[in-house]
Amino acid sequence: MAKIAVLFADGFEESESLTIVDILRRAGMESLVVGVTGKEVMGAHDINVQADVQLSEVSVDEMDMVVVPGGYVGVDALMYSQDALQFISDMNEAGKFVTAICAGPRVLDRAGVLDGKRYTCYPGQEEKIKEGLFEEAIVLRDGNLITSRGPATCYAFAYALVDALGGDSLAVKNKMVYFNAFNEASSHLEESPDHVDVPEKAAKVAVLMKEGYEEGETFSIVDIMRRLGAECTTFYFDETPWVRGMHGMMIQADEKFGDKIEEYDAVVLPGGRPGGPNLIADQDLMAMLKRWDKTPGKILSALCFGTRALAAAGVIEGKHMTGYTGYDQFLTGAIFETKVAVADQNLVSSQGPATGYPFAFKLAEALGYDTRIVRSRLMYDYAGGILG
């Protein structure tokens, strides 16, 4: 089994980092969340993750690959960590895979592994890199070096890592319905507007975290909502705010599910097993969804298995919606569509693990946000992102 060290430092980009770990684990690989700045690592958008191990516990001999995520603060922390730089250099000297995304190639440059190598990175970061040969590409491989450009290219990047390690990325893509959300053949650079109007009052979005939730899709949604300026809060249900996801990641939720959720404008039900079934089994949640369905101004939203929780609550009758492949048989009473994301009346729905981005954009638009600037910064259009 391939073994990968994904380096997490305070300020890391959550949506890309957690998605990479998620995809590698789906492919059956041992992908470790390696804490560089501590056992608990806080992301750029205030998502707190518990590392599996700290860097001092990781041996180059045991690893097949190192991954350096983006995030400007996280990248700076890695660039000034002599232990991280030495580990990356040693991995390169040993002929192991050295990989990075977004601003991460700056760390590789500081570690001295880009000399004579072709690489790509987030737009403008190449101006801060002294060595290497920059090329524009969604993902670029040169020998043992694999690089990519930005948060929304993390899917293509992670699949390339799977292939490099001898895995079957196509099988993972199909299970994640990647091709429903991305078409790399139609990728293009979208010019970002200078200014967009935002709601006078920040929308309040509640994201529910039951044991076994889908980590990648859940936190891409939280990440995007917070980038837009929404007040996005994650809710836990058991005694501890540390909730284990479907792929074993331990991530800290913000608030305990209870009366406070009534202050929110929208609720998000992610997928995952047993996360989705655990949502359905919660009678207080089912009652809340029924109540919200009758409350003007409240938005019910879900993707993947979460759409089945909406069906179990009886709030989908006569509404247009979508869901995971084959879910039309479970979403009875709704008008099922095969689009990647659908908004109708008070309901927003999407399909599966790789559709967290278009789902978040569709929900944001329903809440009155213009998503163009954030889509551009995330490089979603460049990655071939599909919106409808």
Of 376, 375, 339, which Cα lies nearest the Cα of 360? 375
Q: Is the dihedral of CA 28, 152, 14, 180 positive or negative?
A: negative
Strand order in the sheet with 3-8: 53-54, 30-35, 3-8, 65-68, 97-101, 145-148, 139-142
Which of 102, 121, 154, 304 is labelled catalytic? Answer: 102
Helix, coil or strand: residue 268? strand
DSSP category for residue 246: T
Of 96, 134, 131, which Cα lies nearest the Cα of 115? 131
* Rounded CA separation 349/341 (Å): 6
Helix, coil or strand: residue 107? helix
Active site (annotated) includes residue 232 = no
* Rounded CA separation 153/228 (Å): 19
Helices (H) and strands (E) in the chain, counts: 13, 22
Using CA atoms in the order 12, 14, 17, 21, what is the torsion angle rounded to 10 degrees?
Answer: 130
Active-site residue list: 102
